[in-house]
Amino acid sequence: MFTGSKRVLLATFAALVPITLIGVFPLFMGRFQVVLLTEIIIWGVFALSFDLIYGYTGMLSFGQSIFFGVGAYVLTYGMTWELGLLLSLVMVLLSGALLGLIIGAVAVKVRGAKFFLVTLVGAILFHLVALDNRWLTGGDDGLLVPLQFGGVVDNFYLIYGVGLFAALVTLVIVRSPVGLVFRMIKGDKKRAELLGYWTDGYRILSFAISGALAGLAGGLYGYTTGFVSADFFHWSYSADAVIWTVLGGSGTVAGPFIGAALLTFIKESLSSTWGVIYPVFVGLLLIGLVIGFPGGIVGLVKRVASWTVSGKEGSTDE
Amino acid sequence: MSDLLSIRGLGLKIDGKEILRGVDMELASGEIKGVMGPNGAGKSTLLRLLAGELQPTTGELTLCGQDMSERPEREFSRDGISYISQRPGPFRDLTVEENLRGAAQRGSLFSRKSVRGKVDRLAKLIDMERKTDVVVSELSYGEMRTLDVAMALASEPLLLLADEPTAGVSGGVAGDIVDLFKDLCESNRNTPFHLDGLIFVEHDKGTVFNLADRVGFLHDGRLVVEGTPESIRQHGVVAQYLSEHEFD
């Protein structure tokens, strides 16, 4: 098997290749493809926010659309009040984290199916409140987002940079001592508590970081489309994040991006021809993956790599 | 010797059923106490109460004179009580190193160097230096139990509670665990991972009488008798239990 340092080198190389390719993508591709890739990165960040609380901390939350919607509106108002893009994005992060602390503090009091229900009902409530308060959200009709960048490519590089930042920050967190506690809580909350950790505190922290990331994705999506509406709070956004993460591989930083990329690409490809069968296709794909490869695409790749290495080692022994 | 742990009238009632009734017990500093008794006597429940996993319905529990009765579970570990539960406790998806680090880093979350040093010492203590990168799910049962012991020691506790730490492991590994407990309890206070006291539950009579300074016998939620291994064998209920479980 690979030693620790070799594994790190391989992983770094495996990450740098797609990052570089994506970075030069707009130089060779058309407008439609650049817009699609921009959207994929945003969805990747959104799925990553879910992965942090589910894949790393073990909480199946359906409340991500709350943060997504709030992030989109905070950015919209920030831009409307002419705070500038950077300050607006900082506000998005802070508001997402603060809301994550509040919602997390309530949600961690319940466990299992109740936790799932509380977060789902929370998302539905926020959606209804947003629909009813047109003076603030514009309801169904939504609000226009004042833009700072005009071009598709400029916007792509903005999203690309923020997406890299989000992935890097998440990577640092999950590999830190705090990230280890998240993973311990996912493995056995009771056991982590017996070791002296205030597990509810860590779960709330995970919620806050996740809320900041989901808010960031919402802000970026609103900024990219130039429009936000109460529908940004719809729970189906949360469901998408779940599907992308499970498909790509939960508990990994790359998995949510891969899942989001694959399904967004498939959705766009099928929508013009077989749009009706898209949900059926995604459903079958998910069932197959969950049964056959619970680690998602990243888990599958890791397993194949492991087979290849052990196969080679086996043949050397012979 | 001064009391490390003192229990007065400890009781637990669940759904109207008395699981433990009025247990009194003292553990002197440096003492190893074995707890034995038939299945359902309340041995594991007693340890779970002492570890803070369960809250007693009656009685009080003090560690070094400090009342622990109403404390939340996590504070027991912080105040010096570590617990090895009946089933293997390491986190199965994490590596041996991550398990040890997770147990060692609490209280010094960002002192990487000191945590690293402690993890290395623990891995050496249980002879797992070469297995630190192995995921726990790939370990044998005996290795998991040994890792449990190391994780419990990581917080450098005053008192260790161990629920059947050698059950289901091979004789060699069981012997190693017993020797390690003895060494740590008999070691100098400045020795890394020195233990001030140990309370363990075991079915294996050999282990109990070999390791314990004093033995308590629980029956039907009551502490029937307590004494040295030699004296307790003579007690009627214990003698009957030992004869019925002669081949255990």
Is residue B81 within 8 A of residue B63, CB to CB? The reply is yes
Contact B105 A180 (CB under 8 A): yes
Contact B106 A197 (CB under 8 A): yes
Is residue B155 within 8 A of residue A195, CB to CB? The reply is yes
N- to C-terminal Cα distance for chain A?
Answer: 17
Looking at A156-165, B177-186, B187-196, which range is the least confident one? B187-196
- Percent of chain B at pLDDT > 90 equals 75
Q: Is the CB of residue B101 less than 8 Å away from at least one CB of chain A?
A: yes
Contact A183 B77 (CB under 8 A): no
pLDDT at A288: 85
| Complex confidence, ipTM | 0.89
Contact B89 A191 (CB under 8 A): yes
Cα angle vertex A157, ends A153, A161, to 5°? 170
Q: Is the CB of residue B93 less than 8 Å away from at least one CB of chain A?
A: yes
pLDDT at A315: 46
A contacts of B97 (beta carbons < 8 Å): none
Query: Per-residue pLDDT for B248 more than 60?
Result: no
Per DSSP (E only), the strands in A79-217 are 143-144
pLDDT at A214: 98
B contacts of A192 (beta carbons < 8 Å): 102
Contact B151 A195 (CB under 8 A): yes
B contacts of A177 (beta carbons < 8 Å): 101, 105, 109-110, 112, 115
Q: Which helix (H) or strand (E) holds B20?
A: strand B17-28
Domain total of chain A? 1
Query: Per-residue pLDDT for B247 more than 70?
Result: no
Q: Is the CB of residue B85 less than 8 Å away from at least one CB of chain A?
A: yes
**What is the CB-side half-sphere exposure of residue A250 using CA atoms within 13 A?**
24
pLDDT classification of A316: cutoffs 50, 70, 90: very low
Name residues whose C-beta falls within 8 Å of residue B186's C-beta, 6 or more positions apart in sequence: none
pLDDT classification of A64: cutoffs 50, 70, 90: very high
- Structural domain boundaries, residue A108: 4-235
Using CA coordinates, name the residue in chain A closest to B136. A187
Query: Per-residue pLDDT for A310 more than 80?
Result: no
Closest CA to A288 of A247, A227, A237: A247
* Per-chain mean pLDDT for chain A: 91
Structure token digits, residue A201:
């505190």
Is residue A9 within 8 A of residue A16, CB to CB? The reply is no
N- to C-terminal Cα distance for chain B?
Answer: 34
pLDDT digits (tens, 9 = 90+) for B201-214: 998 888 999 999 99
pLDDT at B1: 54
Structure token digits, residue A31:
């407008």
**Integer Cα distance of B238 and A239 in angstroms:** 60
pLDDT at B178: 94
pLDDT at B108: 82
| Pairing label, strands B17-28, B31-36 | unpaired
Mutate to test the interface with B, among A6, A194, A203, A250 (most CBs of B within 10 A): A194
Q: Is the CB of residue B104 less than 8 Å away from at least one CB of chain A?
A: no
Q: What is the mean pLDDT of residues B96-120?
A: 92
Is residue B62 within 8 A of residue B68, CB to CB? The reply is yes
A304: in domain = no
Q: What is the mean pLDDT of residues B179-188?
A: 92
pLDDT at A275: 66
Chain A residues with CB within 8 Å of chain B CB: 4, 177-178, 180-181, 183-184, 186-188, 190-199
pLDDT digits (tens, 9 = 90+) for B12-71: 999 999 999 999 999 999 999 999 999 999 999 999 999 999 999 999 999 999 999 888
- Percent of chain B at pLDDT > 70 equals 98
A contacts of B151 (beta carbons < 8 Å): 195
Name residues whose C-beta falls within 8 Å of residue B150's C-beta, 6 or more positions apart in sequence: B100, B103, B122, B123, B125, B126, B128
Higher pLDDT, A284 or B34: B34
Q: What is the mean pLDDT of residues A27-52?
A: 95
Is residue B98 within 8 A of residue B147, CB to CB? The reply is no
Query: Per-residue pLDDT for B239 more than 70?
Result: yes
- Nearest Cβ partner of B102 from A180, A190, A193? A180
pLDDT at A247: 92
pTM (predicted TM-score): 0.91
